[in-house]
Amino acid sequence: MTPFRRPRPACLALAMAAACALTPAAAAPLSGGLAASDPATPAPAPAWPLLPAQPSAELPALPDGAAAARAQWQRVNEQVAGFARGHIDLLRWEQSRPDASAPAAEAAPTDPLTLQAAVSASLRQQPDLFTRAEMNVRERAEVQSAWARHVQSVQKAWIDAVAARERARLMAQAHDVSRTGAELGRRMVVAGNWSQARQMREQLGESAAWQALVSARLAERAAVEALAGRLGLWRGEDVVALAARLPQGLPALPDAVWPGRDVAAERIEALALQADAELTLMRTEVERERRASDPAREALLQQQMDQALARSGMSGPPHIQALERPGDAAAERSLHGQARLLARAAERRSAARLAWQQLAMRHAAARQATDGLLRLQTALDQENLLRYNGMLQSTWDLLASARERIAALDTAQQARAAYWRALADGQALLAGAPASAVSLSPDTAAAGSTGAATPGH
């Protein structure tokens, strides 16, 4: 019998390492999809910014008797008299104190997530969208089409997230303006210069602005979550960090309708056809089938189809007689192939025309909103401020002008977002995505969604 021998130190280390590798307790911690799909993975609630306090529906109590009303009026006006513009300066001074409840301005991200960086990060989670040397032409065409569609989805998710955050900031500004009007109205009632009916109008405006802010914040979080899903982020804290990394606004509108590429209306259809590798393969097959077919038999089969259409009604599909000659099968394959090719080419040409028309119109609308609507509203806002400083307009005119300016900003940024979404559709089509990648994007909320200006005196 072979005597027992001690293992050498090196062998012992190797044996222990092998044993540890087979022990479940020594397994590497879960990550990626394994961790995300494990119900036991901790999932703390994400620390999204809180909403401002809900607006109050309470009305200030009126003084009891003429003497009490006179004393209250005198006390309030003495407080206001120390400020050049009265109530609004007093309110701004109170909000600028360290203990003010107004939210602080959001700082710009030091490392903003660009569109290109978002696309690259998403592709790390898409191994099926990488081409390989052993792929044939058709397999490469399928990957190219899926890649283009994926890039389009990430682009639009990034655009939606940036636009939603920008709109949420505008709705927060609109809410702050309405809150200021409601507080000034309350002070006017306390001073005896306003009726409670007018104060209730201001409170209704604040409530509407608060509801719009809630909707904008929810839309923002939904857009950020959608982008996070495409980037493979599943932890709540990572999603909040992603939101903080988004740029504060969309890129500026380019001068050209289609930037960075020589694309024009007369070339868009040809470029869209060239980008469809599957269409090229179909065309090659149809040409081969047509060369193998007898044109006379094709013409006869087409005649039979026309006669069947003339006989048929709406009760069922048209019916033709059974094939009688060997050449009819080749003719039928040729006709069917040409029909499929025609359908695909027509669909792709239509998508190309729609992509160009939508992009051109979105570009014009965004340009008008920026150079026309927003410029006019900004000039009017400055004029109203000058008139207010000259005591020619009231505080309420200034607040109404602020609401209109925010509404114009909202319209301009939404028009810009619609343009970038349309460009993503067109780029996807010219990169090989199917024709269904191009669709008419619905218009978002119209101007004035921040709430109508409250009439003042």
For residue range 10-33, list pLDDT tens digits in order. Answer: 443 444 444 444 444 445 566 678
Confidence band of 258 (pLDDT split at 50, 70, 90): very high
Both 415 and 380 in one domain: the answer is yes
* Statement: residue 163 has pLDDT above 90: yes
Cα angle vertex 386, ends 380, 387, to 5°? 90
* Statement: residue 6 has pLDDT above 50: no
Name the residue type at position 315.
S
Can you tell me the mean pLDDT for 186-196? Answer: 70
Residue 296 counted as domain residue: no
- Cα separation of 386 and 398, whole Å? 10
- Percent of the chain past pLDDT 90, that is, above it, reads 43
Residue 446 has a pLDDT of 40
* Statement: residue 261 has pLDDT above 70: yes
Residue 41 has a pLDDT of 81
Residue 454 has a pLDDT of 41
Top-confidence residue, 30 or 255: 255
The alpha carbon of residue 192 and the mean position of all alpha carbons in its chain are separated, in whole angstroms, by: 47
Helix axes 66-80, 137-191, angle to 10 degrees: 120
Residue 439 counted as domain residue: yes
Answer for the pair 272, 430: CB distance below 8 angstroms, yes or no. Answer: yes
Answer for the pair 318, 306: CB distance below 8 angstroms, yes or no. Answer: no
* Statement: residue 372 has pLDDT above 90: no
Both 226 and 361 in one domain: the answer is no
* pTM over the 0.85 mark: no
- Cα separation of 188 and 195, whole Å? 8
Residue 69 has a pLDDT of 55
Residue 28 has a pLDDT of 59
Both 418 and 373 in one domain: the answer is yes
Both 58 and 181 in one domain: the answer is yes
Highest mean pLDDT among 58-72, 81-95, 218-232, 439-453: 218-232
Answer for the pair 52, 175: CB distance below 8 angstroms, yes or no. Answer: yes
Both 263 and 241 in one domain: the answer is no
Residue 290 counted as domain residue: no
Contacts by residues 146-149 (CB-CB < 8 Å, ≥ 24 positions apart): 147/431, 147/432, 148/428, 148/429, 148/431, 148/432, 148/433, 148/437, 149/428, 149/433, 149/434, 149/437
Top-confidence residue, 307 or 348: 348
Helices marked H in 96-195 — which ranges? 115-123, 137-191
* Statement: residue 205 has pLDDT above 50: yes
Confidence band of 103 (pLDDT split at 50, 70, 90): very low
Top-confidence residue, 187 or 329: 329
pLDDT tens digits, one per residue of 107-156:
778 889 999 999 999 999 999 999 999 999 999 999 999 999 999 999 99
Cα angle vertex 69, ends 68, 72, to 5°? 85
- Cα separation of 173 and 105, whole Å? 10
Tokens of 308: 């069947």
CA dihedral 373, 443, 241, 147 (to 10 degrees): -120
Answer for the pair 166, 153: CB distance below 8 angstroms, yes or no. Answer: no
Answer for the pair 456, 399: CB distance below 8 angstroms, yes or no. Answer: yes
Residue 263 counted as domain residue: yes
Last residue of a domain, one of 210, 232, 249: 249
* Statement: residue 456 has pLDDT above 50: no
> What Cα–Cα distance (Å) separates residue 82 from each residue in 86, 99, 148, 336?
8, 21, 64, 87
Residue 370 counted as domain residue: yes
Both 191 and 274 in one domain: the answer is no
* Statement: residue 393 has pLDDT above 70: no
Residue 15 has a pLDDT of 43
Range of the domain at 262: 250-280+348-451
Residue 374 counted as domain residue: yes
Tokens of 365: 């609308």
Name the residue type at position 270.
A
Both 224 and 369 in one domain: the answer is no
Both 226 and 256 in one domain: the answer is no
Can you tell me the mean pLDDT for 396-420? Answer: 88
* Statement: residue 310 has pLDDT above 60: yes
Name the residue type at position 213.
L
Q: Give the torsion sign (CA, 132, 137, 143, 145).
A: positive
Max CA pair span of the chain = 119
Residue 67 has a pLDDT of 64
Can you tell me the mean pLDDT for 260-283? Answer: 90
Tally of CB atoms within 10 A around 50: 8
- Cα separation of 183 and 88, whole Å? 10
Confidence band of 318 (pLDDT split at 50, 70, 90): confident
Can you tell me the mean pLDDT for 421-432? Answer: 95
Both 232 and 267 in one domain: the answer is no
Can you tell me the mean pLDDT for 343-369? Answer: 94
- Beta carbons within 8 Å of 238's beta carbon, 6+ residues apart: 228
* Statement: residue 449 has pLDDT above 60: no
- Cα separation of 405 and 381, whole Å? 7
Both 158 and 274 in one domain: the answer is no
Residue 227 has a pLDDT of 97
SS3 83: coil
Residue count of the chain: 457
Top-confidence residue, 266 or 377: 266
Lowest mean pLDDT, pick from 73-77, 386-390, 449-453: 449-453
Residue 62 counted as domain residue: yes
Tally of CB atoms within 10 A around 109: 13
pLDDT tens digits, one per residue of 30-87:
667 888 887 888 878 787 877 788 887 776 665 565 565 556 555 555 555 444 445 5
Both 150 and 227 in one domain: the answer is yes
Last residue of a domain, one of 249, 270, 304: 249
* Among 103, 104, 245, residue whose Cα is nearest residue 161: 245
Top-confidence residue, 222 or 391: 222
Both 244 and 256 in one domain: the answer is no
Residue 321 has a pLDDT of 76
Last residue of a domain, one of 232, 249, 266: 249
Answer for the pair 412, 447: CB distance below 8 angstroms, yes or no. Answer: no
**What's the total number of domains in the chain?**
2
- Cα separation of 193 and 195, whole Å? 7
- Beta carbons within 8 Å of 419's beta carbon, 6+ residues apart: 253, 359, 362, 363, 365, 366
Residue 364 counted as domain residue: yes
* Statement: residue 313 has pLDDT above 70: yes
Tokens of 275: 């980008």
